[in-house]
Every structure is written in C-alpha cells, then in structure tokens.
Amino acid sequence: MKKYIKKNWKSLIFAFVCSTLAAIFAVRIQFLKGDVLDYALSQNTDNTLRYGIYLGIFIILELGFFYLYDRSRGRFTVDCIKEVRLDYFESILNRTYPDFLSQEQGKYIAQYTSEMDLIESHYFATIPLLTEILIKIIMVSVFLFILDYRIAIITLVLLTTPLYVPKLVEKKLQQAQEEFINQFESHLKLITDWLRGFEIIKNYSIENIIGEKFFKSNVATMDRNLRRKQMSYLTRTISAILSYFSHFVILTFAAYLVLKGDFSAGNFFVAVGMIDQLSYPIISLSQLIQDFVSVGPVNEGILDFIQTKSKKHGSIKIDSKDFQIIEFDNVSFAYKEQKPILKHFNLELEKGNQCLLQGSSGAGKTTSMNLLLNYYEPNEGTVKINNVPVKEISNLNELITIMRQDAMLFKDTLRNNITMYQNIPDDKVLTKLSKVGLDQYANPESLDMIIHEGGTNISGGERRRVTLARSLLRETPILILDEPLANLDEENAISIESELLSITDRTVIIISHQFSKDKLAQLDEVIQF
C-alpha cells in the first residue's frame, strides 16, 4: 500500500502541518486556562479578561486548523482507496478469461466492497490519525516536562501501558478477522448463486429450503463477525481500564504536590487538562494498532491479487489481414481427472471457409473452440493459426470473435450493446439489425433504447439476434457462433442461415443442432463429434 501513500503525499503533508498547528494551539489553550484561573483567584481583573480573550482566539485557531486537517485527511483517504479500487478492477480486466474464472464472482464482490471498506477505514484513514496522535503525544509530553518532570515521567509510563494490549492478542485478532472474511465471502457466493438462479427457486417452490440455508449461512457469518467484534471490544475494555487506573494514580500524585505546596491550583488545572489531552490520543493509538493488526491479512490479499500477473499470451502478433488458416493438429484434451473429450482431433479451416460443428452435449464442440481461444492447452497436439501455436499469439482476441449461447447484454443502450462502444456508423448498425430479423429495432430511435440488465426487457430470441448482430459487426477474420439459431422461429432461422452462408471473407465456425439439412451442402465442413 506504500505506493498509494506516496502518490498522495501532498494531502498527507498538509494534514500533518494542520494537525501540528492544531496540537500546538490545543496545548497552549491548557496553559491559558491555568493562567485565567490563577489571575481570577488573585482577583486580577485586567489580566483575567486579557487572557480570556487570548483563550478564545486560540480556541478558534485550533478549531480552524483541525477543520483543515479533517478535510485533508478525508481527501487523502478517498484518493488512496480510489486508486486501489482502480488498480484492483484493472487487474481483473487484465486477466485472461480462464484466470478470471479461477476465482468465484462472490470473492471479487467481497474484495471490492467489504474488504476495500476495511482497508479504507482501518488503514488509509488511520495514517493521518496516527500522525495527529503522535504529534499531540509529543507536544503534550514536552509541555508536561516543562510544567513538572515528575508528573511527565509518571504520566508517560502509566498511560502508555494500553499500547501493549493489541500486541498481546495480535494473532487472535488476525485469526478472528480472517475467519470473518472467509465466512462472509462464502455467504456472498451463496447469495450470488441464489440470485442468479431465482427463476429455478420459484419454479421448484424451494423458497423455504433456500430461506433455511440463508438463515444458517447468515447466522454463521454474524457469529464470526460477533467474535471479531468481541475480541476488539475486549482489547478496548482492557485498554480503558488501564487508562482510568493510570489517570487515578497521576491525578492523586498531582493533588499530593498541590498539598505540599509544589504546585499552584492553576498548574494543577493545567496538568489535569494536559493529562486528558494525552490519555485520549494514547487510547486512540491503541485502537489504531489494533486496526492495523486486524486489517493486515486483508491488505495482503488485495495486494497479492493486484500484483499477481495473469498468464500472458505469447509475443507473436498476427495481422488480421494476413490470416490464412486454422489447424487442429492431432489434438487431445481432457479436463482434470476426467475422461478425454477430444482424441487425436484434426481440422483445417482456410480463410473464407464455413464450418458446422454438430454432436451431442459434452462431445467436445465448445471445448475445441475454447482450445482455439487458448482458454485451455491441449494435453497432446497443437492448435495453430497461420502455423503459429495459439499460445504464442499476443493478439488472439483481435483475430477471433465468439458469440456464446448465453451471451451477455449490458445495462446500456441498444447501440452500445451492439457496437461494444466502437465507433460504428448507425446506418451500418441498422442494416445489420434488419439482416438478423430485428426490423422492429432497425430505426435511429430504437438504438437509444435502454437494455435492462441481462436483456430482461426483450425476448430470448431478440437477445440472441442482438448478440448475433454484435458478432457480425465485429470484423475479425475468425467468427465463432455457438447456437446462433436457438430460440428462433423457422422464418428467422432460415434468414440467418442465409446471412451466415453469404459470409465469404471470414472463417465462420457454427455450433448448432438446428442447421437446415438442405443447406448443409453449402458449407465447406460439417464435423460430427
């Protein structure tokens, strides 16, 4: 996290300066209080009034600098966590798709929300606080020595004892924090799954069962949270007890000095105020240490994620204009501890070829395309483009467009869902909408229509055709279409088949169970898995 602190050092320095000035005025205020009291007791009206005015001015100055400190502290905290969130999200975007899938979505959400909140409140927000507290401790300690070295020594010895409490329970604090985070992430994963499968829950009338599962998971999560908080409360209570005991001893000693005649009433009043000024920062420092200790595992987890580099593609770049051929050379593949899906699979597709992949579910159609996309590596053989293994190609995504069976639509305009934020003229978009059978949306007004999350405000067939239009508009030399005819009526299906068969400048790979038999002969390759 050091780089984020260094990047925002100006706000931190300004906070330091303001807190220093505020601390100076705060300490001076205690002395002015003593002066006002002594002059009042001696019935010196002029000096009482004069020092009373000084006291008011110093109070205003302290409050003003403290306000500036608070603002700069807030700016520092917000800027730091803003950049952490940015780096975190960029780290997600820079991952390969398989690397992204290696961590469940619930984990991403937990890290971006609850864990980031912890870092913000328990780490970045405490750094300016730490400077403020240390400055105040130093200032008050110096002036206490000036006032009376005996009181200063006793105060520093006794009031610093609470600082050792968090260190004594460091491992238990970290363990409690880790247990809560792990349980919370598991709880969030369950909720994510249930929300995704809400239709199934309703259809199968299992609301009560899911409700019971949620209750158990929620109870377990809150129990972990309570355990974490109880550990924190125990530490705070012990620190508070030690602090109050220290107060009692120090004030008793100061009262003894007054009775002996070594201290004036005004100095006693000053000492009481300064001890109060010192005790609160020390107790706060104890809490800060506890926060730093507890948030340590969270910091490490976020930083590890940001700093861990995703598997890189190769270093060979193939210009899309130079594409010539796709080759599956004796490819075999099996998922971990499962039977082989592909055995010695061979296929050659040249530029402009149209290929249909057919076969039962799990036969290897989608798997072969995932191998072409370099999501997995073959156990045997090689997948190549222009005689270059796909794992060595740096710009594979620029060569291949894939339309998945469950392709995602974003909460955005129809235009942006089709163009994917590329600068494509509207007339070109409208033409493509017509060709995929979406004439009702082939007008400028419809392009500004907002698609709901997941495309819930249009039909399944329309969602399919929107994603098909999106894929057809992207001019990559290789186009993979997974079940492009699903959820379409016969008329639209035939129209789209004709559109696909008319593509001669791209290699088109179609995965479909529904391709018309009378058009199979027009395809260059039909592969049965």
* pLDDT over 70 (residue 165): no
394 and 470: one domain?
A: yes
Q: Lowest-pLDDT range, 28-32, 101-105, 164-168, 205-209?
A: 164-168
284 against 360, higher pLDDT:
360
Angstrom distances, CA of residue 399 to CA of 112, 163, 314, 366, 472: 32, 60, 14, 18, 13
pLDDT given at position 169: 67
**Domain end marker among 276, 307, 338:** 307
CB within 8 A of 342, min separation 6: which ones? 331, 332, 333, 334, 364, 367, 368, 371, 378
* pLDDT over 70 (residue 40): yes
Classify burial at 339, counting beta carbons within 10 Å of its beta carbon; exposed 0-12, middle 13-18, buried 19 or more. exposed
Cα–Cα distance, 193 to 34 (Å, whole number): 65
The token pair at 62 is 């302290």
Q: Mean pLDDT across the stretch 27-48?
A: 78
3-state helix vs strand vs coil in the chain, percent to 5 = 70, 10, 20
**Domain end marker among 307, 330, 362:** 307
Angle, CA 312 vertex, CA 309 and CA 316 arms, to 5°: 155
Classify burial at 495, counting beta carbons within 10 Å of its beta carbon; exposed 0-12, middle 13-18, buried 19 or more. middle
Q: Mean pLDDT across the stretch 138-148?
A: 78
297 and 360: one domain?
A: no
- 178 lies in some domain: no
- 376 lies in some domain: yes
470 and 400: one domain?
A: yes
Q: The whole model's pTM is what?
A: 0.70
Q: Mean pLDDT across the stretch 445-449?
A: 92
447 and 488: one domain?
A: yes
pLDDT given at position 305: 82
Angstrom distances, CA of residue 215 to CA of 179, 188, 192, 220, 354: 18, 13, 15, 9, 53
418 against 207, higher pLDDT:
418
160 and 277: one domain?
A: yes
* pLDDT over 90 (residue 281): no
Q: Mean pLDDT across the stretch 446-456?
A: 87
> How does strand 380-385 pair with strand 325-333?
antiparallel
* pLDDT over 80 (residue 183): yes
Cα–Cα distance, 476 to 399 (Å, whole number): 5
* pLDDT over 70 (residue 166): no
The number of folded domains in the chain is: 2
**Domain end marker among 249, 284, 307:** 307
pLDDT given at position 310: 63
CB within 8 A of 40, min separation 6: which ones? 48
* pLDDT over 90 (residue 484): no
pLDDT, tens digit, 9 for 90 and up, residues 331-351: 999 988 788 889 999 999 999
pLDDT given at position 356: 92
393 and 449: one domain?
A: yes
C-alpha torsion sign, points 480, 486, 488, 494: positive
Phi, psi dihedral angles at 160 (to 5 degrees): -85, -10
301 and 362: one domain?
A: no
- 15 lies in some domain: yes
| Alpha-carbon torsion, ordered 91, 397, 378, 309, to 10 deg | -20
CATH of the domain at 449: 3.40.50.300
Q: Mean pLDDT across the stretch 175-202?
A: 78
For residues 343 and 404, the answer to whether their CB atoms sit within 8 Å is no
Name the residue type at position 351. Answer: K
Cα–Cα distance, 188 to 291 (Å, whole number): 24
370 and 431: one domain?
A: yes
Cα–Cα distance, 186 to 183 (Å, whole number): 5
- Residue 448's SS3 state is coil
342 and 285: one domain?
A: no
496 and 458: one domain?
A: yes
- 366 lies in some domain: yes
* pLDDT over 90 (residue 70): no
CATH of the domain at 271: 1.20.1560.10
Question: Which percentage of the chain shows pLDDT scores above 70?
Answer: 95
* pLDDT over 80 (residue 463): yes
- Residue 169's SS3 state is coil
pLDDT given at position 359: 84
In 401-509, alpha helices (H): 414-419, 426-435, 444-447, 460-473, 490-501
* pLDDT over 90 (residue 385): yes
Q: Mean pLDDT across the stretch 472-496?
A: 87
pLDDT given at position 387: 93
pLDDT given at position 125: 84
175 against 373, higher pLDDT:
373
131 against 330, higher pLDDT:
330
Band (pLDDT 50/70/90 cuts) for residue 108 is confident
For residues 481 and 471, the answer to whether their CB atoms sit within 8 Å is yes
Cα–Cα distance, 496 to 434 (Å, whole number): 10
pLDDT given at position 447: 93
- 259 lies in some domain: yes
CB within 8 A of 178, min separation 6: which ones? 297
361 and 285: one domain?
A: no
- 273 lies in some domain: yes
Q: Mean pLDDT across the stretch 65-92?
A: 88
Q: Mean pLDDT across the stretch 153-165?
A: 73
Question: Any idea how long the chain is?
Answer: 529
Angle, CA 114 vertex, CA 113 and CA 119 arms, to 5°: 100
Band (pLDDT 50/70/90 cuts) for residue 262 is confident
252 and 112: one domain?
A: yes
- Residue 510's domain comprises 320-528
Q: Mean pLDDT across the stretch 123-144?
A: 80
* pLDDT over 70 (residue 494): yes
- 197 lies in some domain: no
Mean pLDDT (the chain, rounded): 83
Cα–Cα distance, 247 to 163 (Å, whole number): 15
- 249 lies in some domain: yes
